[in-house]
Amino acid sequence: MTVDLRSDTVTRPTSAMRAAMAEAPVGDDVYGEDPTVAELERRVAELLGHEAAVFTPTGSMANQLGLRLLVAPGQELICDDAAHVVRAELGAAAAVSGITTRTFPTAAGRCDPEAVAALMRPDAGPYMVSTSATVVENTHNFGGGTVSPLDDIRRLRKITSDAGVRMHLDGARIWNAHVASGTPLSSYGELFDTVSVCLSKGLGAPVGSVLASSAERVAEARVWRKRLGGGMRQVGILAAAGLHALDHHVDRLADDHARAKRLAEVVAEGVAGSIDPGSVETNIVVLEVPDAARVMARCREQDVLVGALDSRHLRAVTHLDVDDEAVDRAARVLVSALRA
């Protein structure tokens, strides 16, 4: 059996999740008549401490709807240079919403209030681009699943609120941050103007994300979702998977975190200098390797799939479909691939 650690997006719905999907009451959600979607939106909004929420097909759409609500065309977004919104959404902020971006360098992608404060220019006058918003990604994907400390986010909120700059949370993996830190979801959520969350990463739903914000902003997001072709009909069948995941797959993320830590420990023991297990905070393990493509290919020969962040870094992600035994096998294969 292949152990697939490329991403936590590769999970397949469990049979209990499929049963919940099959039984979901549905209606036409473009008419606002799907009770299962309405229930998911209500629950996610409540969890995040917001008034309202809207279901979207992808996390990218949830992020981009959030950004366009906060930043007018020609105005500026500030974020770290490894943020998903600037690296992995194909320039959507510029291409779809006319948003310009400036970034600051980051190692692990943690919230950096000083860097934002140094870059932002909220009312830059008639010659310079004015800053409208900034993004925090928590946990940070390309940063290696790092958790941003609540105190740092609070400090950033104070700085941006004083300047009239808005904040979007890319919370694709906010569930992992919540489980790893014990911080309530609403404590994170209430510090942001808009929040996106993914149901199809560690939570294991096949499809779906949610954007939460004020009722007024969410109403506007619905218009833009439809305009972009994201108005879906009997989509309660997918929302049901999300509701099932909220009930059954949040607390268990602690298992994914323990397995990621274990993977890092075994690899560190086998190959000195490849990783510091102390750097693993959630379900993402980033390994420094001499030649990522070669190590990846050797692992593949032994049915272990990992991803490459760049030519010198591999990424392994634990998830719902990877148990203790699979992680142990992946660790052994990684060690032998790194030694070869």
Ligand X SMILES: *Cc1c(COP(=O)(O)O)cnc(C)c1O
Alpha carbon distances (Å) from 331 to 76, 144, 255, 299, 312: 43, 17, 16, 10, 18
Give Rg (Cα) of the chain: 20
Which residue sits closest to ligand X, CB atoms considered?
59
Q: How far is the CB of 146 from ligand X (least distance, A)?
A: 11
Nearer CB in complex with ligand X: 34/170:
170
* C-beta closer to ligand X: residue 28 or 152: 152
Find how far residue 12's CA is from the centre of its chain.
18
**Whole-angstrom Cα distance, residue 19 to residue 276?**
41
Beta strands in 29-99 (DSSP E): 52-56, 76-80
Pick 60 or 130: Cβ nearer ligand X = 60
Residue 254 is given by DSSP the state H
User: Smaller CB distance to ligand X: residue 54 or 333?
Assistant: 54
43 close to 68: Cβ distance less than 8 angstroms? no
CB 63 within 8 A of CB 170: yes
Which residue matches tokens 């993914």? 198
- Choice between 63 and 146, CB closer to ligand X: 63
CB of 59 to ligand X, least distance (A): 2
The letter for the amino acid at 237 is I
Query: Nearer to ligand X by C-beta: 139 or 274?
Result: 139
Secondary structure string (H, E, C) spanning 96-129: HHCCEEEEECCCCCCCCHHHHHHHCCCCCCCCCC
In the bound state with ligand X, the residue whose beta carbon lies nearer, of 84 and 244, is 84
Report the nearest approach of ligand X to the CB of residue 311 (Å). Answer: 21
Tell me which residue of 74, 102, 52 sits closest to 222, measured CA to CA: 52
CB 296 within 8 A of CB 269: no
275: nearest Cα among 230, 22, 199, 284: 284
Beta carbon of residue 58, minimum distance to ligand X (angstroms, whole number): 3
| Minimum distance, C-beta of residue 284 to ligand X, in the bound complex (Å) | 9
In the chain, count H helices and then E strands. 14, 12
Q: Which is nearer to ligand X, 112 or 137 (CB)?
A: 137
Task: Provide, rounded to whole angstroms, the least separation between the CB of residue 141 and ligand X.
Answer: 4
Binding-site ranges for ligand X (CB under 6 A): 58-60, 63, 84, 137, 141, 170, 172, 198, 201, 209
**Residue 183 to residue 49: CA distance in whole angstroms:** 13
For the CB of residue 128, give the shortest distance to ligand X in the complex, in Å: 29
Nearest approach, Cβ of 56 to ligand X (angstroms)? 9
